[in-house]
Structure 1
């Protein structure tokens, strides 16, 4: 049991990775569509690349979406509307008219008798309400058939048979002229206009129900293909009916062939493919990015982002497949590049697109566009802390999407007449969503403890609390750190390393000297050296401890691990040679272990650059009357000595890059110590 526990403790990092591998695979499989994959890949407008295809079974030809949509529109356009008839309104209108006529009719003003006016109005009201009066405005033609619902009975009418209140003036004028009652025309119109009330209204609910019922009866099929019938010949262009028949065969294949009996085999196939994708990711990290592979937090971060992209795409596809390009997939390589490097960003992006190929429709078109957009993201996004760069890159990504989609559409359709321009809006929305990268990076930094260029820019501010404290307590060390930062940044730019990271690392690499600043020569204001009163071994320990104390101060101030790495490695496992030599002179011998920094040695280009720049800058203070040749020889000696000690064995830095760094350091030191003209006093 004890051995088992010991084995578990020893391999807990590997066990965690296996667990992460299994969980990620299961989650991705859960999100993948649970249907078989049609074994033929085809695209509209392209030749059929396989042998002649014959129907493996009987199946129906499905109507395409456009045809079904058109038929639905025709049903809606030709649907017979239902109108509700209220028979109780007529009696109330007639009674109200007689009451108002009695009040307004004056015998001395009109020749037409009141009884004649009442009779005429009664006939008019009866005629109007026979088929119904409506005050609603509709776009129906006069000959449009309508259903008039009177209680439980339905009567057919033409829309023109309904009386429109807007025609009242014309109707009154015709009646009074026919009966020579012109003197009461205004009176009759005014009263009728006031008392007329609509008794026919459109029954929207019943009309919509009838339309829905008719739509449900639509046949989604338009024919049958018999088993053995030839569907398409080799080299034939996939378009029109051929394309729709192939789509129907694919749909039938997925619904008919794949059942519960072979569902297990489907899961086995998915498991193998998804596992291969994640296995490739692990192998890539192990062989080419061991610093990521050995950090479980960083590995978890990468897997989380892959799952997030697959989950968001699946979620959007459930709403509507047209919205698939709204998902900002390019945010994945952008974020990974911000935290790691472009190669990691592109590799993970490619693997994620391969997984999404199982989910999205028109997978070839989708994958092609996303591959190109991902490459553009990697090539264009640089110095993310500069806000303008992100906007420019997002604009370029959106343009690539639009151009790529337009090209595919032209290839498939052969024209632009049917181009749906609103689809370009999805790409613009995708670009806007990609701008969410900045707040997402901040969120990831807090959750996973990572550091991006944006955070590095904040840390490089010399007015920050920690650097202010360093400048106050150890001004000489602070000045030394600024000089080292300038040298290291220039060197990093020369070989293509992360210049922002190495600059920030240089600013903080000696913060451990704050606790005992006068023990370091750059902070001694006078010629008194505190080490003269100490044993060489004690002096060496004080010097060595500034690394350990620097790590403690960094952790207390929540500096990222990537910055702490510079503090740990800037002296590597080098020897405090001055005090080691002094000990040997005084005692005759010395234990080397007492005078060696604890390490580790640098394990990246950036940490190696800092070691070189720090050693050269610190030692350059001892140069007397430096000349160009002296400086060149001096730089060569220090860096060659570090190489001889094996300080750069773990850093992925080449001899060529070291030579380039030497040239930069020589040039910079020559500029610093250039000879001045002596001016007369």
Structure 2
């Protein structure tokens, strides 16, 4: 049991990676659409590349969404509208007319005339209700077909224009009054009729909508069928028109059959294999080219989390509405990974992620092409992310690439721009705006995963920060030395293409450990007394060496990122405090060299290697007497060559060519510091 626990503890990092790998694989497969993949690739407007294709089984030809919508639109346009007609209304109106007429027309008229007027009024009422009076106006055309219902039974049909609306009632009555030669009594008869006539026709919304819905539900999604062994398309034939629709129908049927049969588990297993292979390639890349990232489980988790996040967001949008697919800001992924790691890792991870997303989206080739090109542009254009203008410029370029590539694909597919969906361009613009969310996201990730980006480095480079203020107060000489080293490291980093901001910040904080015993370091000795005179060489060496340990403790106490602490830890590598070692050797030739050596580790990146060179050169340059160009050149060469001989840069991914460039920068900078002029030959 004890051996098992020891073995588990020893390999816990590897076990964690295995669990993370398996969990991420299953989660990605879970997000995948539950449909198989058609084994043929085809695009509209392009030749069929495979052999002659025969129908593997009977299947129906599906109508396109556009065809179904057109058919439904025609049904809606030709559908009948149902109105209820109240046959009792006319009786109530006539009864009211009888009373109102006698009130309006007193006994001043002859009985025969009065009777004639009354009868003509009845005829007008009959004429009005023969047409029908609407309760209100409806938004229908005059030729809209109307079905009349009485007690839920159809009594006839008419058109909407034949009804008398409330707005037209007065005019209609005036025309009828003139027709029946009642002009002499027009005002009286009009007043009577207008007051008593009420609506007898109302829209039956429930029957109208239900009938329309029934008709729409009858629309078949299919138009014909293809029998088994029927030739669908020949090799070289262009995929267009009905051929394209038949192939799409076959693809859809093929995918549904795969997942409805017993081989569901096999397809799921195949998906798992492909996802596992993709993630394994990423792990192998980290293992071979980014070992420092691979050994850090937090960073591996961070990378896998972002891949999973992109898959989740894309799946979410596809399930909601695939039209909005291009609004998902996939280019955030390479932006974030470049901010925290480097461009190469960012691009590799982006490509792996896009390959996985190809299983989710419908037009996978077009989608992957767009996203990979956009990812490459992201990597190539974004530099110094902490400069906000750079991000806006990069987002603009990414959006432009999306638009241009989409436009090209659309023209290839359709052959013209007449049906170009301009609203897709708006989606690309929204995608660009969403990409700007990378800055707050970087801040969140820094807090969650303890990582550091250029944005944080910019904040840390502020010399008014608490820790650097304390350094300038307690150890002003060290602070000045750190500023000089920072300038040298930044210039050297720019020369070889390293992370200049990281090198500068690392240089600013690399000697904070000297604050514990500032007077034991020559740059802070202003009184002329040296406290080392009262100590043994071994004790002095211990104090000098311990400034690294003290610096690490202070950095952790002040929550400095690990990437900055690495500079403190490695800026002396495993070098020897040579002055005190030599002094001790004069007393005891059997002195243990390890007692006078820094604990390390050696620099393991370009930036930490640059700091070691700049720190040693800047510190030692103070001992130069009457410096000249030749002295400085020889001085820089000697110090850095000694570090190379001691294999201090063995773990750093830095080349001799880059070291030569760094030497050149340091010589030039030191010459400027000492205001040297060119030495002319005598």
Shorter-normalised TM range: over 0.9
Give 2:490's aligned residue.
489
| 2:131–2:164 CA contact under 8 A, matched in 1 | yes
Report the Cα offset of residue 157 of structure 1: 2.3
**Inter-partner Cα distance in structure 2 for 1:381 and 1:657:** 23
Moved more, 121-130 or 40-49: 121-130
Residues 83 and 149 in structure 1, CA contact (< 8 A), matched pair in contact too = yes
Q: After alignment, is 216-225 or 281-290 more displaced?
A: 216-225
* Secondary structure of 1:146's aligned partner: strand
- Distance in 2 between the 1:190 and 1:572 partners? 110
Distance 2:441 2:113 in 1: 86
Residue number in structure 1 paired with 2:510: 509
Aligned length in residues: 677
Offset at residue 83 of structure 1 (A):
2.3
- Residue 451 of structure 1 corresponds to which residue in structure 2? 452
- What residue is the counterpart of 1:202 in the other structure? 203
Report if aligned partners of 1:111, 1:183 keep a CA contact under 8 Å in 2: no
Change (3 A) 1:624 1:217: same
Q: CA RMSD in A?
A: 2.4
Per the alignment, residue 424 of structure 2 pairs with 423
Contact 2:333–2:346 (8 Å) recurs in 1: yes
Q: Deviations over 1:103-140 (max 9, x none)?
A: 87799999998877666555444443445322544453
For 1:336 and 1:491, the matched residues in 2 are separated by: 24
Supply the distance in 2 between the matched residues of 1:112 and 1:301 (Cα, whole angstroms).
Answer: 103
Quote how far apart the aligned CAs of 1:636 are. 0.5
Q: Which residue of 2 aligns with 1:621?
A: 622
The TM-score normalised by the length of structure 2 is 0.94
* Cα distance in 2 for residues equivalent to 1:184 and 1:110: 14
Corresponding residue of 1:37: 37
Superposed counterparts of 1:328-343, under 5 Å: 328-343=329-344
The question of whether the paired residues in 2 share the 8 Å contact of 1:82 and 1:206 is answered with: yes
Q: Which position in structure 1 is the counterpart of 2:647?
A: 646
Deviation for aligned residue 1:180: 3.3
Residues 1:354 and 1:182: Cα distance change in structure 2 (over 3 Å): same
Q: Please give the secondary structure, in 2, of the residue aligned with 1:149.
A: strand
- Which residues of 2 match residues 189-268 of structure 1 at below 5 A? 189=190, 197-268=198-269
SS at match of 1:147: strand
Q: SS at 1:201's partner residue?
A: strand
Q: CA deviation at 1:194?
A: 5.8
> What's 1:299 paired with?
300
Structure 1 residue 314: deviation in Å? 0.9
Does the Cα contact within 8 Å between 1:112 and 1:183 map onto a contact in 2? Answer: no
The answer on whether the counterparts of 1:112 and 1:184 sit within 8 Å (CA) in structure 2 is: no
User: Matched residue of 1:269: which SS?
Assistant: helix
Task: Name the residue aligned to 1:660.
Answer: 661
Q: 1:103 and 1:36, CA in 2 relative to 1: closer, same or farther beyond 3 A?
A: same
The Cα shift of 1:399 comes to 1.2
Could you say what secondary structure the match of 1:603 adopts? coil
SS in 2 for 1:154: strand
Aligned to 1:27: 27
Q: Which residue of 2 aligns with 1:521?
A: 522
- The C-alpha deviation readout for 1:272-316, integer Å capped at 9, x for no partner, is 111110110010000000011000000001101111111111111
Residues 673, 181 of structure 1: CA spacing in aligned structure 2 closer, same or farther, 3 A cutoff? same
| Residue of structure 1 equivalent to 2:562 | 561
| 2:388 paired residue number | 387
Note if contact 1:554-1:564 (Cα within 8 Å) is conserved in structure 2: yes
Normalized against structure 1, the TM-score is what?
0.94
* Mapped partners of 1:124, 1:556: distance in 2: 100
Residue 73 of structure 2 is aligned to residue 66 of structure 1: no
Which residue does the alignment assign to 1:46?
46
Which moves more between the two structures, 177-186 or 330-339? 177-186
Distance 1:94 1:474 in 2: 111
Contact 2:137 2:166 in 1 (8 A): no
Q: Does the C-alpha gap of structure 1 residues 673 and 173 become closer, same or farther in structure 2, counting only changes over 3 Å?
A: same
Does the 8 A contact of 1:172 with 1:185 survive in 2? no
CA distance in 2 between counterparts of 1:193 and 1:462 reads: 90
Moved more, 112-121 or 559-568: 112-121
- Within 5 A, what are the aligned runs for 1:161-176? 161-176=162-177
Which residues of 2 match residues 435-474 of structure 1 at below 5 A?
435-474=436-475
**What CA deviation, in whole Å up to 9, does each residue of 1:409-454 have, x standing for no partner?**
1111111112222122221121111111111111111111111111
Change (3 A) 1:216 1:674: same
Structure 1 contact 369–405 (Cα < 8 Å) conserved: yes
Shift of 1:396: 1.1
Quote the offset at 1:151 in angstroms.
2.3
Taking the aligned partners of 1:3 and 1:238, their CA distance within structure 2 comes to 65
User: Unpaired runs of 5+ in structure 1?
Assistant: none
Comparing 562-571 with 71-80, which one deviates more in the overlay? Answer: 71-80
- CA offsets, 1:36-81, max 9 Å, x none? 2111100000000011111112211111111111111111111111
Q: Is the partner of 1:532 in helix, strand or coil?
A: helix
CA shift in 2, pair 1:333/1:172, >3 Å: same
Distance 1:117 1:539 in 2: 132
Change (3 A) 1:193 1:480: farther
1:616–1:221: structure 2 CA closer, same or farther, 3 Å change rule?
A: same
CA contact (8 A) 1:297 1:448 kept: yes
Q: Give yes or no for the alignment of 1:409 onto 2:410.
A: yes
CA contact (8 A) 2:629 2:676 kept: no
1:82 aligned residue:
82
Cα distance change of structure 1 residues 273 and 117 upon mapping to structure 2, 3 Å threshold? same
**C-alpha displacement of 1:585:** 2.5
Deviation at 1:175, TM superposition (A): 2.2
CA distance in 2, matches of 1:606, 1:393: 26
| Aligned 8 A contact 2:46 2:239 in 1 | yes
